[in-house]
Chains A and B, each alone.
Chain A
Amino acid sequence: MNARKPEQVVTPLTFTGIRKPLLEKLYLRMVRAREFEEKLYYLFLTTPMPGTMHQATGQEAVAVGVASALKKNDYVTSTHRGHAHCIAKDVPLDLMMAEMFARRNGVCKGMGGSMHLCDFSRGMLGAFGIVGSGIPIATGAALSSVYRGSKQVAVSFFGDGAINEGVFHEALNMASLWKLPVVYVIENNQYALSMPNEKVSAVTDLSSRGCGYNIPGITIDGNNVTEVYRTAKKAIDRARAGEGPFLLECITYRMRGHARFEPASYRDKDEVEEWKPFDPIKRFRETAIENNKMSEGELNAIDEQVKKEIEDAVAFAESGEKVGPKDYLQFIYEPNSTAGGAE
């Protein structure tokens, strides 16, 4: 009763047909996501940070591969483990970091925190803290796109745990009936908190669940950023062309515990070690250098750039005013509601 072994999942990482600017973007976004969370992990250890966070360490290729196939005004819904999705959708690191610090200059004015990060100006409709809740909301954004004729596509990221929520089934059924431009991405990190797939899902080939709703699906190596990108691109292009929804299962591995400092004592430590060599960033670096697609120097330069961005983001966050005791009052209802509805 354990997670899948890497050899059951991993496929060769190839860069064929992917131009260099895109390769650079994929790497940059993955490193940003990784370093953002690593910095926060350190800050949580050493400073009195508010709240908590759920890290996606090792899962970055899913967020980045999918979101890099989207347009800026396409929609994304995310989860409690949502930093990477936001970063992949280009939500600025400084605004995100300030939100983590509960500062007024945060992307959600310090009202949402890690589990509710969103940036409507970039189509990022929200990280939803309730498992599965973003699935019908992304579906509604897709309906809205059709209604307005705007050709936008919606992507809903959710974990393997979410597929046992009722709204997963309700939403997939409606999306299929109405041929909505939405791509459902199961980011299967193999654990729903402590529960491995086998213990909670009667069917463990998760993408096959699309069959019940006449939605095509496929299961791929979620630590292979180019495979994720290529597959997502096809699904997204198909959705944009009016051919309906798609169910994409990306198998990855949650390298950390469920939440900050949660030791994951319910799983075998050897399993984590087995997955370490298949870290998506490590694989990308090795393949890039091996195939002369990017030099070590170029990769290191991106690492350095991200380090600087993170430092700047922390400085931006620290420069922000702390959320005040009554800040929330302006956000409960729209102030001065047009229909005289405000309290």
Chain B
Amino acid sequence: MRKLSFAEAMREAMVQEMEADENVFLIGEDVGLFNGAFNVSNGMLKKFGPQRVIDTPISEAGFMGVGIGAALTGLRPIIEFQYSDFMFCAMDQIVNEAAKLRLMSGGQASVPVVLRAPQGATGRAAQHSQSVEAYFMHTPGLYVAVPATPYDAKGLMTAAMRMNDPVLIFEHKLLYGSASPGGGKAKSDKTISDIGTDVPEEQYIIPFGKASIRKSGEDVTVIATLVMLHRALAVANELEEEGISCEVIDPRTLVPLDEETILTSIKKTNRVVVVSEDVCRGGVCSELTSIITTRVFDYLDAPVVQVCADNTPIPFGPASEMSVIPQLDDIKGAILRVLKDN
């Protein structure tokens, strides 16, 4: 089968759906002439023209609102945020409007928008490095997807474009595997595995709320998303050689969350490590831990161990950034700790 990078798979999802549905269009900063800050929309302006690939002013709240207005009146916008950090400029439109219009209108309104946003720490300091998914998990009315592979990028994106509620797709910059038109090849992480790089040419859907067991195991369940999934797999493969069997689960979507797959695994292994790149406080790990301890506490042989970013803005200095963001050793240490603990 064909190998595609994450950026190529995401682009193919958009292109194919735009070919199939004339109501789908892409709007955002530098998505047209510049091909997107991470090259995801490369060639789309040329293919679809300026009416369907719309370069906006730097007005996140404004173009988010424009997207909502278009969605309320029959269109299906894909709204690209250049960095997920910039979504905060549009918070009112996302949280107060897009998420709430269906309910406030008693079901009259649908807001079929897909928000795509690159995130994660790659040396760009505090305002271009955050992992922001938890802010949106906290807002009922939104769906949140975290594709970790090219295969998932295409399948989840295709699903998202056909759903009738707002979907947020967080894309990790280290996973794109694409050249940035503004710079060189995106810095990549040597621990990124090649899982899910085989991408079918035809359209397909990955339903929301279906986790993927990336590696089956017996001793401990490791739940991880985005880049952390790849790091967790690298550690799991290493530990396998030491006789430790990890079951690695990729939730793929955080809202809805496939609690069944996660809890079934924990009932089997009785030990769990949760890994996420966002900060710990009020974050993905906190939410997963909450669900686990309130649902399957009696099955746990050891406390849940959390591996996540320190509660700090992301510092610029590489050594500091590395210290804040979970690394292979942090994940490995956590697994060994949860196995030792009685």
CB atoms of B105 and A174 under 8 A apart: no
Contact string, A141-155, partner B, CB cutoff 8 A, digits 1/0? 111110110001010
Q: Are B62 and A331 in contact (CB-based, < 8 A)? A: no
Does A118 touch B at the CB level, under 8 Å?
Answer: yes
Q: Which chain A residues border B164 with CB–CB below 8 Å?
A: 334, 337-338
Closest CB in chain B relative to A227 CB, distance in Å: 28
**B65 close to A167 (CB less than 8 A):** yes
Cβ-defined partner of B65 (8 Å) among A116, A140, A341: A140
Instruction: Give Cα A109 to B106, complex, Å.
Output: 5
Contact with A along B194-221 (1 / 0, CB 8 A): 0000000000010111100000000000
Asked if A75 meets B73 with Cβ closer than 8 Å, knowing A118-B108, A333-B102, the reply is: yes
Which residue of A has the minimal Cβ distance to B68?
A137
User: B78-102: which residues lie under 8 A (CB-CB) from chain A?
Assistant: 92-93, 96-97, 101-102
User: Which of A139, A170, A177 has the largest number of chain B CB atoms within 10 A?
Assistant: A170
* A107 interfacial contact with B, CB 8 Å: yes
Encoded as 1 (CB less than 8 Å from any B CB) or 0, chain A from 129 to 144 comes to 1100101111111111
B105: chain A residues within 8 A (beta carbon)? 108, 111-112, 116, 118, 120, 126
- Check B93–A136 contact: CB distance below 8 A: yes
Which of A138, A328, A337 has the most C-beta atoms of chain B within 10 angstroms of its own C-beta?
Answer: A337
Q: Which of B71, B106, B141, B255 has the most CB of A within 10 A?
A: B106
B188 at the A interface (CB under 8 A): no
List which B55-74 residues lie within 8 A (CB) of chain A: 56-57, 59, 61-74
Q: State whether A170 touches B59 (Cβ < 8 A).
A: yes
Instruction: Give a binary string over B138-153; 1 marks a CB under 8 Å from any A CB, 0 the rest.
Output: 0011010000000000
Separation of A173 and B255 alpha carbons in the complex (Å): 35
CB distance from A168 to the nearest CB of B (A): 9
User: In which size bucket is the chain B interface?
Assistant: 35 or more
Q: Is the CB of B73 within 8 A of A339?
A: no
| Chain B residue contacts of A112, Cβ below 8 A | 103-106
Q: Which residues of B contact A109 (CB under 8 A)?
A: 106-107
Distance between B162 CB and nearest chain A CB, rounded to angstroms: 5
Given the contacts A108-B104, A130-B96, A144-B70, A166 and B61 also touching, CB distance less than 8 Å: yes
In the bound complex, CA of A332 to CA of B142 (Å): 9
Partner among B75, B141, B167, B207 whose Cβ is within 8 Å of the Cβ of A148: B75
A275 vs B106: C-alpha distance in the bound complex, in angstroms? 38
B159 nearest in chain A by CB position = A339
B97 touches A138 (CB 8 A): no
Q: Is B256 an interface residue (CB 8 A)?
A: yes
Shortest Cβ distance from A174 into B: residue? B62
Residues in A with CB closer than 8 Å to B25 are 147
Q: How far is the CA of A130 from the CA of B94 in the complex (A)?
A: 12
Return the contact of A171 from the options B62, B101, B110 (Cβ within 8 A).
B62
Inter-chain contacts of A119 with B (CB < 8 A): 108
Question: In the complex, what's the smallest C-beta–C-beta distance from B146 to chain A, in angstroms?
Answer: 14
B163 at interface, CB cutoff 8 A: yes
Query: Is B247 close to A, CB under 8 A?
Result: no
Chain A neighbourhood of B256, CB < 8 A: 341-343
Residue of B nearest to A148 (CB): B74
Contact with A167, one of B61, B72, B159 (Cβ below 8 angstroms)? B61
- A330 contacts the other chain (Cβ, under 8 Å)? yes
Tell me which residues across on chain B come within 8 A of A333, comparing CB atoms. Answer: 102, 141, 143, 165
- Judged by a CB distance under 8 angstroms, whether A245 is at the interface is no
Also in contact, A339 and B74, with CB within 8 A (given A140-B67, A170-B61): no
For residue B51, CB closer than 8 A to chain A, the reply is: yes
A147 touches B75 (CB 8 A): yes
- Measured CB to CB, the nearest residue on chain A to B25 is A147
Within the assembled complex, what's the spacing in Å between the Cα atoms of A135 and B25?
Answer: 21
Alpha-carbon distance between A179 and B56 when the two chains are bound, in angstroms: 14
Taking a contact as CB atoms under 8 Å apart, the answer to whether B97 and A133 are in contact is yes
| Residue of chain B at shortest CB distance from A178 | B54
- The answer to whether A140 touches B159, judged by C-beta atoms less than 8 angstroms apart, is no
Q: Which residue of A lies closest to B102 (CB)?
A: A331
Contact A118 B109 (CB under 8 A): yes
CA distance A171 to B64 in the complex (A): 10
B96-126, CB under 8 A of A: which get 1 and which 0? Answer: 1100011111111110000000000000000
B93 touches A341 (CB 8 A): no
Complex interface: chain A residues within 8 A of B68 (CB)? 136-137, 140
- Tell me if A110 counts as interface (CB < 8 A to partner B): yes
> Knowing A339-B163, A341-B165 touch, does A126 contact B75 (C-beta < 8 A)?
no
Is B141 within 8 A of A171, CB to CB?
Answer: no
Asked if B160 CB lies within 8 Å of chain A CBs, one says yes
Asked if A140 meets B70 with Cβ closer than 8 Å, knowing A108-B108, A166-B61, the reply is: yes
Q: Is A191 part of the binding interface, using a Cβ–Cβ cutoff of 8 Å?
A: no
A137-B69, A332-B141, A333-B102 as given contacts; A130 in contact with B92, CB under 8 Å: yes
Chain A residues whose C-beta falls within 8 Å of the C-beta of B101 in the assembled complex = 126
A residues 297-343 in Cβ contact with B at 8 Å? 328, 330-334, 337-343
Against A, the Cβ 8 Å flags (1 = close, 0 = not) of B147-184 are: 00000000000011011110100000000000000000
The 7 closest A-B pairs by CB, nearest first: A140-B69, A136-B65, A170-B62, A340-B207, A109-B106, A108-B106, A170-B59
Can you list 13 residue pairs at the A/B interface with Cβ under 8 Å?
A118-B104, A125-B69, A125-B73, A126-B104, A140-B72, A143-B66, A143-B70, A147-B70, A167-B61, A331-B103, A333-B102, A338-B162, A341-B207
Having A144-B70, A177-B57, A341-B163, one finds 13 other A-B pairs with CB under 8 Å, namely: A111-B105, A112-B103, A133-B96, A136-B62, A140-B65, A147-B70, A167-B62, A170-B57, A170-B61, A334-B102, A334-B110, A338-B164, A341-B209
Chain A residues close to B by CB (< 8 Å)? 75, 77, 106-112, 116, 118-120, 125-126, 128-130, 133, 135-145, 147-148, 152, 154, 166-167, 170-171, 173-174, 177, 328, 330-334, 337-343
